A and B are shown apart, each in its own frame.
Chain A
């Protein structure tokens, strides 16, 4: 699941439209939950805006910030 996310983000950074769709679809239950109290056209607005915001956020997401496994283990040993 998380491996897949990583690959999706890599593709999104290369402007892969399908990857964006797939990524956003994994958050669909959450988005539906967030929009359920809105009127129909507001619902659509928020969904659309969220898709745009998510895409923007993923494009600027730095995927090189993860710690090394070794460093993480050192933390656990303490």
Chain B
């Protein structure tokens, strides 16, 4: 027995069957492009119309949801990649600022009591950029951050061991030892 709502559903689907060539809605056109869906639709007046309606409903739900998923994931990829590119370009900018900071260190009068260990960390690139030999460059990369930083201050910025000790807030002996061990490490690496 067909209840009123079922009758409405039936009528609506019947309408679709009659008008399937006049539909301009691209979603519906694509849905009807599927041969199985079209066949189902044309079977609406058959004996088991209830089953046909059920099958049509299910296939429409899958079709519609599949479309939504594709659209959603496609947007997600666009959005996420956009953010990723922005993040990368920010990091690159940060790098440029790091070099600017480095220039500031060079301009800072020696003996300035201000601590700037963060900037000193960044300044190690200066030494790396100045190295002509690839062998030495590779050796420098194997040093610890601290070793590289101190070598940089000593050889590139031409600070004395005492000045470095003062800037980093460590003892002069430690600076001396660090330079010695770093040079030893480089010697071993380039042999």
Contacts and interface: CB of A to CB of B under 8 A. Distances in A.
Contacts of A34: 77-78, 81
Interface in B68-124: 68-70, 72-74, 76-78, 80-81, 84, 88
Q: How big is the B interface, by class? A: 20 to 34
Contacts of B77: 27, 30-31, 34, 50, 54
Interface of B: 8-9, 12-13, 15-16, 23, 25, 27-28, 56-57, 59-70, 72-74, 76-78, 80-81, 84, 88
21 contacts: A2-B62, A3-B62, A5-B65, A6-B63, A6-B69, A9-B69, A27-B77, A34-B78, A49-B84, A57-B72, A57-B76, A66-B61, A66-B65, A68-B60, A69-B56, A69-B61, A70-B13, A70-B57, A72-B27, A74-B12, A76-B16
- B-side binding surface: helix, strand, loop or mixed? helix
Contacts, number: 95
B72 A70 contact: no
Given A66-B60, A72-B28, A49 B80 contact: yes
Contacts of B84: 42, 45-46, 49
Nearest to A30: B77
- A-side binding surface: helix, strand, loop or mixed? helix
A22 to B, nearest CB: 13
A46 B15 CA distance: 48
Contact of B57 (A45, A49, A68): A68
